């Protein structure tokens, strides 16, 4: 049976990193972008990371440029932006695709474990996303594809994917879910 620990990622220098090194940790895996309306979530993510990393949380940041070309620049430029603007200290990996023929195998697995369950319509950006996707003419509501930047997957200490949070999910609620499994 495939687990999260069977996958590798490339760090921003192109070195292979086995997710097996995170065994026993709680993971929050996020596809990010530096020029998105949700980019301020970096601040929330860093704050959560600083409060909970000593309890076993790791945030794995995978920049992605598939949504509105909102992650331009090299891996080094993205890292510099995040560290200077938001003080990020959690691991950041090579910019990668999360949907389609070139998607990371990790994302194929994550999406098979937790599909799309809808946007949090209390978020003011959610209706805009729904309207945009409705205009595509696709049946996007039933697809497990990642819809936008800052989709997050929560993985427990045993490597099970226990939750998927769309970017519209309130970050305080994300933190509460993390704390519940720490």
Which sequence positions are flagged as catalytic? 36
Kindly state the tokens that stand for 33.
């972008």
The Cα–Cα gap between 8 and 14 comes to 11
End-to-end CA separation in angstroms for the chain: 24
The Cα–Cα gap between 71 and 42 comes to 13
State the residue for tokens 């921003």.
12
Nearest partner of 24 among 1, 50, 56, 51, judged by Cα = 56
């Amino acid at each position: 049976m495939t687990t999260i620990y069977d996958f590798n990622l490339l760090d921003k220098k192109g070195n292979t990193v086995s997710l097996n090194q995170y065994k026993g940790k709680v993971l929050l895996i996020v596809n990010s972008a530096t020029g998105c309306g949700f980019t301020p979530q970096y601040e929330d993510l860093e704050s959560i990371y600083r409060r909970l990393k000593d309890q076993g949380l790791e945030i794995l940041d995978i920049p992605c440029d598939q949504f509105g070309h909102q992650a331009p620049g090299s891996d080094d430029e993205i890292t510099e932006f995040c560290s200077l603007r938001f003080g990020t200290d959690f691991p950041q990996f090579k910019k990668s695709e999360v949907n389609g023929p070139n998607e990371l195998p990790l994302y194929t697995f994550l999406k098979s474990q937790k599909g799309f369950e809808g946007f949090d319509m209390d978020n003011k950006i959610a209706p805009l996303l729904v309207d945009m996707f409705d205009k595509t003419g696709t049946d996007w509501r039933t697809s497990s594809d990642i819809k936008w930047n800052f989709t997050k997957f929560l993985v427990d200490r045993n490597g099970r994917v226990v939750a998927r949070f769309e970017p519209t999910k309130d970050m305080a609620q994300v933190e509460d879910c993390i704390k519940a499994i720490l």
